Amino acid sequence: LVNDNNAFPLPGLSLSRDSSATGTLYFKYTVTNPASNRDTENYFAGMQLYEGGNERIGVGNGWSPYAYSCFGSTNLDLNSATPEPGNTYQEVRSTDVTTIVMRVDFNSGANDAVTVWLNPNLTVTEAEQDPTLTTTFSVNATFDNINLRESDNGNNALGWTFSDIAIAENATDAGFFAAPLTTCIWDGGGGDSNLSTAANWVGDTAPAAGFDLIFPNSPNTSPVNDLAAGTTFTGLHFDGGATSYILTGNSIGISNFVRNTSLNPQIIDLPIELNGPLNFDALNSSLFIDGPVSGPHGITKTGGNRLELTADNSYTGDTAITMGTLSIGDGNVTGSIDPSGTISFGLGTATRLEIYRFDDTTLANPITTGGRANIAATGGQAVTLSGPITGTGEFWTHGPGTIKIAPNAGSSSSATSIVVATGTLEVEDFTTSTLGTGAIFIGQAGSGTLRYTGPTASTDRIGPFALQGTETGTYIEVTTPTTELTFTQPLGDNDPFNKGFTKKGPGSLILTAAQTYAGDTIVEEGVLSLTQPGFADGSSVTVGDGAKLNLDFVGSDTVAEVVLGPDVLTAPGTYDAVSHPAYISGTGSLVIPSTDPFPTWIGTFTFDPGADLTRTGDPDGDGLTNYEEFAFGLAPNDGSSVNLITSQIDKTTGQLTYQRLAASGLTYSIWTSPDLVTWTEDTTASQVATPAGDNESVAVTLTGPLPADKLFVRVKAE
């Protein structure tokens, strides 16, 4: 009994798995809940893995839900064969006697695959468990401690009673699932490679319908199915020590699983007929399914590695990707999934669907995003998504090809963000009915292009820090010459990478907000229009031949460099529609500021008309040029402002004080002379500057000893 102790470690247990672990562990416990009540008690209880004092995955009843659930590293309700009406979960009641079994397949250096069964039937095999009570997901499940946990927020109720606690490495160990009645293990010891040859199997017994087939390490890695076409097996398993196999021959019927726990890729090059939902588990290495998959059921991709479906498949059912990558095709023009079933993505961020064909492809399937839906046009082609895209997870597109989202493909409940990671995302409609409510980000994982092919439109769908990643190739393309696409939200970059973008296509892109990105801007084609200044002061703006930059505002925008066609312009000046009408339009201008502080300084004073404001001028007639007054922070319009020495030399200490302009950019040195003819720089004289408004007050100490009779001192600015 665990009662308000919060964490009770299992005694006498020395068991752990770190991030390099592989293999499988099963955990089981039975619990009665005398004080749990879905109407009155906000219970928290269960078995939880810990590592270094940090919470990992737990199963039981999480902090917030009143249902059987997972908590810790991930939070989700468990599926149940006896759910609440209209739902898939089961609430916790005081009358419950519940058994929970959790399987963890450990992936070295990656998230681990977790399967949880709520009240499984332990008299049948693992493969025969009811899928409605099965929950699968991926999470970090490394641990060095296992706790039983319970809390009812201090109500001192009776708590949960845990019993029948067991941990095992195999599904068929005592207390867990029943062993398959028929298992055949390949040894390849016969004189051929046929499945029907008894000598090719351990125990010299050939398999028949209903068997599980296990392929371990063997010198014979080319089994041929010469059994009757369509012979049904319950599972195929390439176990941990298996070398790479190629399985060919007649078609097989299968349900439950095809699993690769070896470290080598495996190829199945024969037709597969689905007799039930099939789990392709590419746990530690890839699975290549080169034969067609048919039958009235769906498939689930699990395991952190790659599954390739290279044939034109005709199965009818949903396609779920809970972990790793599912690739449609292998670089040719074949490879498919059921065109009408839902494509769903798991809760992790690495689930990925690749369309690896070199011809253009359309997927009309509904798509649910899960944690993150990664969809890639791997072959450089165009992939059109014309089905609804729903879910609360992120939606990422990858190249090098183009992902097109057809009009009205999405829904208002779709992804929280749409990320063009690499390649091109093409849209012709920014409305919620097509793209949902998510904001758009470009170039997260490399060079990315957002291409717009629709009519004139305005959108606020650009996300904060929309210009993502470290690569320089970020593009926004408007393909139709007469189209004007307006972004009402600013384009920002993910500091500190100073990302910019390139405007492509013959259409117009209008930016109405003040832009916040710090990188360079290139107008390669068409028109880029700004309705207010926004280029970064230190950035470069390039306008190609035939393109146009429309500065549709009053005033100027400061930049560091302007490139107009072949001309690279870095000289201080103003660049606008008057000076460069072939490249710039509008009432605004680009300004490259001068690096000389003198013009700015003298512009802060008021003079009579016609005054000489050059460096050599002396408009106040005090005998000092404007530049001399600039150097020492004097007033060029005041004839009484002539004395830069603010305290005379102390003949004993050799100290004096002078003033100078703080931002002059000049170098000041101290010189001495005994006769006003011969001057010597006092290179070791100290100068200590103290801010005094726009000026500095500089305390000078001459190098001693000083002459007893006379000494002249001057300050030189250059």
Q: How far is it, in rounded angstroms, from Cα 594 to Cα 577? A: 21
Q: What would the two tokens of residue 692 be? A: 């005094």
pLDDT tops 60 at residue 204? yes
- Shared domain for 441 and 495, answered yes or no, is yes
Q: How far is it, in rounded angstroms, from Cα 294 to Cα 312? A: 10
**What pLDDT, in 10s, does the model give residues 28-84?**
999 887 666 666 666 778 899 999 989 999 999 876 667 899 988 788 899 999 898
List of residues 6+ apart from 74 with CB closer than 8 A: 57, 137, 139, 347
What is the reported pLDDT for 447? 82
**What pLDDT, in 10s, does the model give residues 553-568?**
999 999 999 999 999 9
Pick from 560, 565, 561: nearest CA to 581: 565
Q: What would the two tokens of residue 526 be? A: 């068409």
pLDDT tops 60 at residue 467? yes
Using the Cα atoms of residue 660, residue 663, residue 664 and residue 666 in order, give the sign of their dihedral: positive
What is the reported pLDDT for 575? 97
Question: What is each CA distance from 79 to 68, 119, 424, in whole angstroms?
Answer: 8, 10, 38
pLDDT tops 90 at residue 508? yes
What is the reported pLDDT for 349? 87
Q: How far is it, in rounded angstroms, from Cα 568 to Cα 540? A: 10
DSSP 132: G
List of residues 6+ apart from 163 with CB closer than 8 A: 29, 30, 31, 32
Q: How far is it, in rounded angstroms, from Cα 515 to Cα 473? A: 18
The bridge status of strand 540-543 relative to strand 521-523 is parallel
Segment among 202-211, 315-324, 386-395 with least mean pLDDT: 386-395
Is residue 180 within 8 A of residue 56, CB to CB? The reply is no
Place of tokens 């002249």: 712
Q: What is the CATH number of the domain that holds 708?
A: 2.60.40.10
**What pLDDT, in 10s, does the model give residues 107-122?**
999 999 999 999 999 8
List of residues 6+ apart from 603 with CB closer than 8 A: none
- Indicate whether 601 belongs to any domain: no
What is the reported pLDDT for 42? 64
The HSE-up count of residue 92 (CA atoms within 13 Å, CB side) is 32
- Indicate whether 160 belongs to any domain: yes
**What pLDDT, in 10s, does the model give residues 608-661?**
999 999 999 999 999 999 999 999 999 999 999 888 899 999 988 999 999 999
3-state SS, residue 629: helix
Share of the chain above pLDDT 90, in %: 67
Q: How far is it, in rounded angstroms, from Cα 562 to Cα 309? A: 51
Q: How far is it, in rounded angstroms, from Cα 29 to Cα 558? A: 68
**What pLDDT, in 10s, does the model give residues 162-194?**
899 999 999 988 889 887 657 899 999 999 999
- Shared domain for 547 and 662, answered yes or no, is no
- Shared domain for 381 and 316, answered yes or no, is yes
Pick from 419, 324, 328: nearest CA to 365: 328
- Indicate whether 632 belongs to any domain: no
List of residues 6+ apart from 225 with CB closer than 8 A: 195, 231, 247, 248, 249, 250, 251, 252, 270
pTM over 0.75: no
Q: What would the two tokens of residue 244 be? A: 């790479």
Pick from 315, 306, 437, 289: nearest CA to 374: 306
**What pLDDT, in 10s, does the model give residues 276-296?**
999 999 999 999 999 999 999
Mean pLDDT score of the chain, rounded to an integer?
90
- Shared domain for 537 and 455, answered yes or no, is no
Segment among 167-181, 340-354, 526-540, 544-558 with least mean pLDDT: 167-181
pLDDT tops 80 at residue 134? yes
Q: What would the two tokens of residue 2 be? A: 């665990």
What is the reported pLDDT for 180? 67
- Shared domain for 567 and 674, answered yes or no, is no
Q: How far is it, in rounded angstroms, from Cα 49 to Cα 15? A: 11
- Indicate whether 72 belongs to any domain: yes
List of residues 6+ apart from 393 with CB closer than 8 A: 345, 347, 369, 370, 371, 372, 373, 415, 416
DSSP E strand stretches across 283-336: 287-289, 293-294, 299-302, 306-309, 319-321, 325-328
Parent domain of 585: 531-595
In sequence order, what are the beta bridge partners of 635?
none
Torsion angles phi and psi, residue 641, rounded to 5: -90, 85
- Indicate whether 120 belongs to any domain: yes
What is the reported pLDDT for 496? 63
The amino acid that residue 220 corresponds to is: N
What is the reported pLDDT for 62? 78
Pick from 300, 299, 195, 320: nearest CA to 252: 195
Share of the chain above pLDDT 70, in %: 93
- Shared domain for 154 and 193, answered yes or no, is no
Q: What is the CATH number of the domain that holds 156?
A: 2.60.120
- Shared domain for 500 and 548, answered yes or no, is no
- Shared domain for 537 and 470, answered yes or no, is no
- Shared domain for 305 and 366, answered yes or no, is yes
- Indicate whether 619 belongs to any domain: no
- Shared domain for 256 and 201, answered yes or no, is yes
What is the reported pLDDT for 495? 57
Helices then strands, each counted (H, E), the chain: 3, 59
More confident residue, 201 or 12: 201
Q: In what order do the strands lie in the sheet with 145-151?
A: 8-9, 145-151, 44-51, 54-61, 69-71, 76-77
Q: Residue 6: which pLDDT band, with cuts at 50, 70 and 90? A: low
Is residue 272 within 8 A of residue 254, CB to CB? The reply is yes
Place of tokens 């079994």: 101
- Indicate whether 109 belongs to any domain: yes
What is the reported pLDDT for 3? 40
What is the reported pLDDT for 24? 94
Chain-centre distance for alpha carbon 169: 35
**Using CB atoms within 10 A of its CB, is residue 485 exposed (0-12), middle (13-18) or buried (19+)?**
buried
Q: How far is it, in rounded angstroms, from Cα 389 to Cα 413? A: 8
pLDDT tops 50 at residue 412? no
What is the reported pLDDT for 380? 86
Mean per-residue pLDDT for 357-382?
Answer: 92
Number of structural domains found in the chain:
4
Q: What would the two tokens of residue 698 be? A: 């500089």
Question: What is each CA distance from 492 to 79, 501, 514, 534, 674, in whole angstroms?
Answer: 42, 10, 10, 11, 63
Pick from 477, 410, 483: nearest CA to 449: 477
- Shared domain for 581 and 493, answered yes or no, is no
List of residues 6+ apart from 717 with CB closer than 8 A: 628, 631, 632, 660, 664, 666, 667, 668
- Shared domain for 328 and 377, answered yes or no, is yes
DSSP 627: H
One DSSP character per residue, 40-89 reads T---EEEEEEEETTEEEEEEEE-SS-SBSEEESS--EEPP-SSPPTTSS-
Place of tokens 């004839």: 639
- Indicate whether 602 belongs to any domain: no
Is residue 286 within 8 A of residue 307, CB to CB? The reply is yes
Task: Choose the final residue of a domain: 141, 168, 195.
Answer: 168
Cis peptide bond N-terminal to 496, omega within 30: yes
**What pLDDT, in 10s, does the model give residues 584-603?**
999 999 999 888 889 889 99
The amino acid that residue 478 corresponds to is: V
Segment among 124-128, 227-231, 481-485 with least mean pLDDT: 124-128
Is residue 218 within 8 A of residue 196, CB to CB? The reply is no
**What pLDDT, in 10s, does the model give residues 377-410?**
998 899 999 998 888 888 899 999 999 998 876 5
